[in-house]
Amino acid sequence: MITSPLTAQVLLHVGPVPITTPVAITWGLMAALTLTSVLATRKLRLDPGPGQAAVELLVTSVQSQIRETLQTDPAPYLPFLATLFIFIASANLLSLIPGLEPPTAHLETDAALAVIVFFAVHYFGVRVRGLGGYLADFAKPTWIMLPLNLLSEVTRTFSLMVRLFGNIMSGVFVIGIVLSLVGLLVPIPFMALELLTGLIQAYIFTVLAMVFIGGAVGQTRPKT
């Protein structure tokens, strides 16, 4: 049964607070990722095995992307951006597991991720440039632009949320409709496409977060 992405099933209540299915899946995913990261980094070696090599490849790839995008030392931004990418990619790929729906197919999860990026951008901007220098940038090139610059902070956050939500939700709907019509084996090509889409959307979301942070800290943005 295909449910609306704007509604979520309530599993239980903690006092007056309802715990929905996307929230429970998100908690489970966070626990699984935490456990995986602990196990993957528990016994690091100079001669890495397959697991450590995969982790190192992921870290170096994110480092290279940060360095290329921000044109600065990636160390201060690596923990946040790498965690963002790993979580979104893992959440998106949950659609490939029968019986699980990715939390990113629900608007509230994507809104929370976009809000996290919103505050992270301002955090890094203030930390690098100072409060006065960062706030002064909103009045450039002239103070008349102040309302538009402030509005752009909200609209780009909204765009970040809607882009992720639309792409993941549509993929889940397509697979669900095909499953309900023709059975289990036929949707396999759609699931392969969903795998690619999930990884691409995680990459795009993370790169856009990098670009926003680059603008906040005053670094040169990538050429387009």
> Which tens digit of pLDDT belongs to each residue from 65-81?
999 988 889 999 999 99
Q: Measure Cα distances from 200 to 77, 90, 224 in Å.
A: 20, 12, 18
Residue at 223: amino acid letter: K
> Which pLDDT belongs to residue 5?
55
pTM of the model: 0.84
> What Rg, from alpha-carbon coordinates, does the chain have?
20
- For residues 189 and 57, the model is more confident at 57
Roughly how many angstroms between the first and final C-alpha of the chain, as a whole number?
43
Residue 65: which of 204, 199, 207, 197 has the closest Cα? 207
> Which pLDDT belongs to residue 98?
73
